[in-house]
Chain A
Amino acid sequence: MRPLRIEPFSFSYDGHDRLTYPPLCFEPGLNILKGANGSGKTTYLKALAGLLGERVHQKESLYMSEKPSFPSYMRVKDYLMALESASPSTKGEANELLERFGLHAKREARIESLSKGMRQKLALIETLNEARPLYLLDEPFNGIDKAFMPLALEAVSALKGIVIVTLHEAVDFKGPLREVYL
């Protein structure tokens, strides 16, 4: 797999300062996108995901929001089933991932009954269940307890393709990763 090179571009929301991004290169594997507060990391990922227009949209990418929201009234298994059947690139591993992430007992539960950490795990599960060449994960470990972090990090780093992650806090990860600065 070839590295992903993004040409410089700029973006501005209505009434906000224009964000200007330098040319960046992301290698296959785990890439940590770093930058000061307000440097536009979330906007950068959204732009690559095509949520802000087509200019730098990377087709086949998958974006995970920093504040994942769910249809709270749906059951966990139905939600994952709906996404699986809607997606042409699903791995079909929702059950295994639920087991691995300790959520199997919650399969029948409505999402509204899940804790914040469980919802974050659910967001990770729906992301990990997709086979994409590019993953854009915005603060994917928010709200996840420290004891679970190694497993979550390992699962994310094991994704095949280019994985771009923004992090709020430093993580203790022994595997290979690359830091990219905005």
Chain B
Amino acid sequence: MKGLFTVVAYRLFHPKIVALAVIYLVVGALLAVYHLDHGAPLINRLSEPALLSRLYFYDTHFFMRIGLLMLGAIMTYKIQQEDALDIPLVMRVGRIRLALLRTLCPTVVLLGVMGLSLLINLHVYAFAPFSEGFVIHHGIVLVYGVYVVYYTALFDLVMNRFKTLYHGMMVVLIALLGDVLMDFDTPVHAMRVPLRMLLTFFPVSVASPEGFQLSVSPLIPGMLAIAYMSLSTLVFTRKRL
């Protein structure tokens, strides 16, 4: 297994990926500062909770989504470019362990990005650990992290497996499911909390003093995308060799 981890480390600490992580860190910090400068005062001026959450959502999440979309795309592209190791590794460790490796890479990226985002949030917002605000932003960080995996998986599918109608349909379905579930007004958000907890595997609906509600329903498409990525790697690695 040491060899596999060497490969993972090499893939993750590829200079271009490190550069992207730094870019993400800078962009994330700028976004956070922008939010402090522009978003917070705007939110403070508004009192209606629904509008508040919607503005919050579009103010921060929109930029983060676009940024993470691009980051996930480029990162996945760079990781997938290194498929030169496919044949040697399949010959040595087998297809299943290679699939695990493929899944491990974006997962480690996810954890790394989550950690970075958490640091940014902790530093910029200076939340006290375990305060309500900390929990909310910790949750947001988690959602961002899932976005990374989700979009990484999505672009993995688009870039490498968009070769047949079947795969194309899966990409569209996952994307649609993801975006529908991420929308604040979908039926998922209207469900009762226990059901949402069941669906998302996470205690949702953390209310802030301003009435902002955090939804973590992106966990569903994230998990679906990861599951599909793993399965498709298992099944379709063969065709790409």
Chain A positions near chain B (C-beta within 8 angstroms): 46, 49, 51-53, 61-63, 65, 69-74, 78, 81-89, 126, 130
Interface residues in chain B, defined as those with a beta carbon under 8 Å from any beta carbon in chain A: 1-4, 6-7, 10-11, 14-15, 82-85, 87-93, 238, 241
Cβ of A65 and Cβ of B93 under 8 Å apart? no
8 A-B pairs, CB-CB below 8 angstroms? Answer: A61-B91, A65-B87, A71-B7, A71-B82, A73-B14, A73-B82, A85-B6, A88-B92
Given the interface contacts A72-B84, A73-B15, A86-B3, does A51 sit within 8 Å of B90 by beta carbon? yes
Is the CB–CB distance between B10 and A73 below 8 Å? Answer: yes
> Which 6 interchain pairs have the tightest Cβ spacing?
A86-B3, A85-B3, A69-B84, A87-B92, A85-B2, A82-B6
When distances are taken between beta carbons in the complex, the residues of chain B under 8 Å from A73 are 10, 14-15, 82
**Among the listed B2, B4, B91, B238, which residue makes an inter-chain contact with A63, where contact means beta carbons less than 8 Å apart?**
B91
CB neighbours (8 Å) of B88 from chain A are 83, 126
| Interface of B (DSSP majority class) | helix
Query: Is there contact, CB below 8 Å, between B4 and A86?
Result: yes
- When distances are taken between beta carbons in the complex, the residues of chain A under 8 Å from B89 are 83, 86
Residues of A with C-beta under 8 A to B84: 69-72
Contact indicator A78/B10 (Cβ below 8 Å): yes
- Residue of chain A at shortest CB distance from B10: A74
Contact partner of B85 among A53, A71, A89, A130, CB < 8 A?
Answer: A71
CA distance A72 to B84 in the complex (A): 8
Other than the given A51-B90, A82-B6, A126-B88, 11 more pairs (CB < 8 A) read A51-B238, A51-B241, A63-B91, A71-B84, A71-B85, A72-B84, A73-B14, A74-B10, A86-B3, A86-B89, A86-B92
Interface of chain A: mostly helix, strand, loop or mixed: mixed
Roughly how many angstroms separate A86 CA and B3 CA in the complex, as a whole number? 5
Q: Would you give the shortest CB distance from B166 to chain A, in whole angstroms?
A: 13
Q: How far is the CB of A90 from chain B (nearest CB, A)?
A: 8
CA distance A153 to B82 in the complex (A): 30
A157 and B57 CA atoms in complex are apart in Å by 66
Checking B7, B87, B238 against A82 with a beta-carbon cut-off of 8 angstroms, the contacting residue is B7
The smallest beta-carbon distance between A99 and chain B, in angstroms, is 21
Whether B238 lies near A53 (C-beta < 8 A) is yes
CB-defined contacts of A61 to chain B, threshold 8 Å:
91
Instruction: Output the residue of A63, A84, A85 with the most chain B CB within 10 A.
Output: A85
Instruction: Provide the bound-state CA to CA distance between A83 and B91, in Å.
Output: 10
Pick from A52, A78, A89, A126: contact of B6, CB below 8 A.
A78
User: Is the Cβ of B14 less than 8 Å from the Cβ of A63?
Assistant: no
In the complex with contacts A51-B238, A51-B241, A78-B10, A87-B87 CB distance below 8 A: no
Q: How far is the CB of B82 from chain A (nearest CB, A)?
A: 5
* B61 CB, nearest partner CB in chain A, Å: 34
Please state if B91 and A62 are interface contacts (CB–CB under 8 Å): yes
B28 to chain A, nearest CB (A): 26
Docked pose: A49 CA to B10 CA in angstroms: 27
Q: Are A84 and B3 in contact (CB-based, < 8 A)?
A: yes
A87-B3 Cα distance, complex, nearest whole Å: 8
> Is B87 within 8 A of A81, CB to CB?
no
Q: Is the CB of B91 within 8 A of A49?
A: yes
Interchain nearest-CB distance for B79 vs A (Å): 11
Collect the chain A residues with CB atoms within 8 Å of residue B92's CB: 83, 86-89, 130
Q: Determine how close the nearest CB of chain B comes to the CB of A19; give it in whole angstroms.
A: 17
Most chain-B CB neighbours within 10 Å: which of A51, A74, A86?
Answer: A86
Return chain B residues, CB-CB under 8 Å to A53. Answer: 238
Contact between A86 and B82, CB atoms less than 8 A apart: no
Partner of B10 from A71, A87, A126 at Cβ < 8 Å = A71
Question: In the assembly, what is the distance between CA of A84 and CA of B83, in Å?
Answer: 18
Find out whether the CB atom of A81 lies under 8 angstroms from the CB atom of B6: yes
Distance in Å: Cβ of A38 to nearest Cβ of chain B = 20
Q: Given A49-B91, A51-B87, A82 and B3 touching (CB < 8 A)?
A: yes
